[in-house]
Amino acid sequence: MDITVFPGANQLAAAVAERLAGHLCRARSLVLGLPTGRTPLGFYRNLVRIAREGRVDFSGATTFNLDEFLGLGPEEPGSYRQYMERHFFRFVNIDRRNIHFLDGSTPDPEGECARYERAIAEAGGIDVQILGIGSNGHIGFNEPADHLTARSHVVRLRPETRRANAALFAGDADRVPHQALSMGMATILHARTIVLMATGSEKAGCVSAMVEGPLTTRTPASFLQLHPDVHVMLDQAAARKLADQVRF
Ligand code: GLP
């Protein structure tokens, strides 16, 4: 894993956004895998700024988001789709036909997951997958468990994950759906390049388990060690438990 430690979250967000904008200038038709959560907010803010400065063009880009709550349609305020509209999509010139999402309002979750896998394959696979990490070591919504699932699937969310997502539901964890649809481990690991961002001291434990721990389904992010092109972007707080610190 290639690890970069930034002095703070703002520098990290700006650097990852500049790097992605650079990729898009070289290859306009990139297929991007995108995350939600608090961590990528600064990244999206910077990408929108770079777009306003006229230095990046999303018109040829295709996006696939990692996950969505089951039971929530794309118009529901708590949905990840609405998060993406609020923080990113509505500010950039992405062709809306190229925005892909798991549909949380589907009556057929398994069929919806199979459709999503086909859509990713038809787009030629994901070029750059941006990830956050849950403090329990999850990526997407692949929660710690005895077994992990390779492809997009229905997941039951753990209580700590529902609490971590409460902000989308006016701070009320009880309103966070119990289930979600998520890309699977293979869907993520088949991306050509993976960029994982983690900030804050509450992520220090899972970052150390991901980078230095054994491969275990108890830390789904540890499987990223198998991928040949993973870039881990950390602030100092998230890096503080790593044995060998890499400085920016
Ligand atoms: C959420 C998302 C993940 C995200 C993670 C961390 O549940 N499903 O994709 O990476 O939790 O979120 P945060 O950045 O808010 O800590």
pTM, two decimals, is 0.96
Q: Quick one: pLDDT band at residue 120, thresholds 50, 70, 90? A: very high
Query: Annotated catalytic, 138?
Result: yes
Which of 91, 102, 12, 21 is closest to 61 using CA atoms? 21
Mean pLDDT of the chain: 96
Report the separation in Å between the CA atom of 50 and the middle of ligand 1, taken as the mean of its atom positions: 24
Which atom belonging to ligand 1 lies closest to the Cα atom of 200? 16
Which atom belonging to ligand 1 lies closest to the Cα atom of 198? 14
Query: Annotated catalytic, 212?
Result: no
Which of 162, 119, 142 is closest to 222 using CA atoms? 142
pLDDT tens-digit series, residues 137-175: 999 999 999 999 999 999 999 999 999 999 999 999 999
The position carrying tokens 């209580």 is: 159
Name the fold adopted by 2-200+210-238: Rossmann fold (3.40.50)
pLDDT tens-digit series, residues 31-72: 999 999 999 999 999 999 999 999 999 999 999 999 999 999
pLDDT of residue 92 exceeding 60: yes
- Tell me the C-alpha distance between 66 and 188, whole Å: 8
Q: Which of 68, 112, 143, 235 is catalytic?
A: 143
Q: Which of 23, 100, 138, 153 is catalytic?
A: 138
Alpha helices by DSSP H, listed for the chain, are: 9-26, 41-52, 80-87, 109-122, 159-164, 185-189, 204-212, 236-239
Domain ranges of the chain: 2-200+210-238
Q: Could you tell me which residues come within 8 angstroms of residue 82 by beta carbon, excluding any fewer than 6 positions away? A: 74, 75, 76
Long-range contacts of 170-174 (CB under 8 A, 24+ apart): none
Quote the DSSP letter at residue 147: S
Report the separation in Å between the CA atom of 132 and the middle of ligand 1, taken as the mean of its atom positions: 6
